Amino acid sequence: MTRNLKRAATVLGVAAVTSVGLVACSDSNNAGGNDGADVVVPEGLSGATGTLAAEGASSQKNAMEILGPIYSQAVEGAQFNYTSSGSGAGRKAFIGNQVAFAGSDSPLKEEQVEQAKQRCGGNEAWHLPFVIGPVAIAYNLEGVDDLNLSVDTIAKIFKGEIKKWNDPAIAGENEGVELPDENIGVVYRSDESGTSDNFQKFLKAAAPDVWETEGQEFPQAVGEGAEGSTGVATQVKNIPGGITYVEAGYAKQNDLGVANVDFGSGPVELTDEAVNKTLENLEFKGEGHDMVVNSDALFSQKAEGEYPLILTTYEIVCSAGYDENTANQVKDFLTVALENQDAIAQYGFVPVKGSHHDRLAEAIKAINA
């Protein structure tokens, strides 16, 4: 059972809305509030008060700026402070016992696992894939509102092997669609980016015969670069025939077309349902509640109706070893955040549902002092 409270506009006025989406590592955009929305207050919260501090990935910044005030309203006397310093800095702050948990695009490095265990009083640190953001293949093509692209075709476009929109490969995947004899304008992230890293991992896993490179730097031999997620989306909007990879919220904000991607079992529209279907079938490298996502398996998924081109960003927490108040704060915040993810959907995040929601809820309950 839950009860709903109407959130006051003043509580949610964290910052002006200047961007939308799962923000990439170098962006410095602020999320705004979700004025007038209901806050779900789960039963069984401890009510622990004080300030809960977390630090890490800027990809979670917009989500945390929404979820923090919700937590403060759900638990009277509780505050939440999230420092958007980057995944690496967040993991270091967590290991150094400077914050209660870290937000991170990547799991702890091998040498950090034991350090985190020491920080947690000899207990394991858990990775909880909590904030989920799909990556869109966004395009600007006048008159083409519905576009299908296979993974191999996407890889060949970004590699420069397919240069025209009416190329036979694209035409064959879009029967009945009038494609223009127009150059494809590839736009990539010019800055180091977790989005570029994950997109290249996806291409390498899903189209291994075409794509070879990976890493946070995207190859610059084809197309033109722009900085940040805002930059690539804006650039494509200004280039007839442009295409890029970008978090879904930015594509929506800029009214760009979003391709239906054929991962191997037919074109899939980017929807919350398709993403959550993918989440249900996640494979993990960790055991129990330590949910380090097997990215190779994720990006190779081809089941009908699944959209596996997603960023699964973590909250890294101690399984035990907190003092009692901090443990209760962490559990309260994560519980409230999990049950209020609909509030962050407007920013391009996908609220987790179904079995993945249940996995996270069980892990949160299992956190001990």
The model's pLDDT over 144-165, given as tens digits with 9 standing for 90+, comes to 999 999 999 999 999 999 999 9
DSSP lists the bridge partners of residue 136 as 246
Neighbours of 180 (CB within 10 A): 14
Q: What is the CATH number of domain 135-273?
A: 3.40.190.10
Record the tokens describing residue 269, joined without a space: 């529209």
* Tokens 């490298």 found at: 285
The confidence score (pLDDT) of residue 127 equals 98
Give residue 90's identity as a one-letter amino acid code.
G
pLDDT for 38 equals 85
Strands 260-262 and 148-150: parallel
Alpha-carbon torsion angle 189, 191, 194, 200, nearest 10 = 50
**Tokens 């529209």 belong to residue:** 269
Asked whether 156 and 162 are in contact (CB, 8 A), the reply is: yes
Tens-digit pLDDT profile for residues 5-59: 433 333 333 332 333 334 333 343 334 444 446 899 999 999 999 999 999 988 8
Task: Return d(Cα 69, Cα 13) in angstroms, integer.
Answer: 9
Supply the pLDDT for residue 285: 94
The domain made up of 2-133+282-293+312-366 has a fold known as D-Maltodextrin-Binding Protein; domain 2 (3.40.190)
Where do the structural domains in the chain lie, given as residue ranges?
A: 2-133+282-293+312-366, 135-273
> Which positions of the chain have pLDDT values less than 70?
1-37
The answer to whether the 2-133+282-293+312-366 and 135-273 domains have the same CATH topology is yes
- What is the crossing angle of helices 272-280 and 354-366, to 10°? 60
349 closest CA partner among 338, 360, 336, 334: 338
- CA-based nearest residue to 41, from 8, 61, 70, 77: 70
Give residue 36's pLDDT.
45
